[in-house]
Amino acid sequence: MAIDCTPGLAPAVALFRSLGDPTRLAILSRLAAGEARVVDLTGELGLAQSTVSKHLACLRDCALVDYRAEGRQSFYTLTRPELLDLLRSAEQVLAATGEAVALCPVYGTPAASPAGVGA
């Protein structure tokens, strides 16, 4: 019988899963600079409107972003300034570890294969 070693960690796991997508991180990074509309995000990030909207919905569900309506437009903002501290801390951890996480065989980015290999 397996023992659950994670009681009480479910909210943190959900938070880090919500941050574990490159598109959501890009949206959050952009919103760190100030509020934006979906059309702003699609143009600046080069993503489809449906993609941006889907990820904003996820971030809203996690209460990490919110919006205000102005006429027919919605302006999205970060809801928690502490999120910026968390992202800065993550950058510091990555810098301190030499970005070893990126080389992690489970969660990292696969190393590019040398030219001609597998081609």
What confidence score (pLDDT) does residue 72 get? 93
pLDDT band, very low/low/confident/very high, at 111 (cuts 50, 70, 90): low
Q: What is the pTM of this model?
A: 0.78
Question: In terms of Cα–Cα distance, which of 10, 32, 9, 29 is closest to 19?
Answer: 29
**Residue-range domain boundaries for the chain:** 10-103
SS3 content of the chain, % helix, strand, coil (to 5): 50, 10, 40
pLDDT tens track for 8-64: 888 888 898 999 899 999 999 999 999 999 999 999 999 999 999 999 999 999 999
Which bin fits 98, alpha (ψ -120 to 50), beta or left (φ > 0)? left
Q: What is the CATH number of domain 10-103?
A: 1.10.10.10
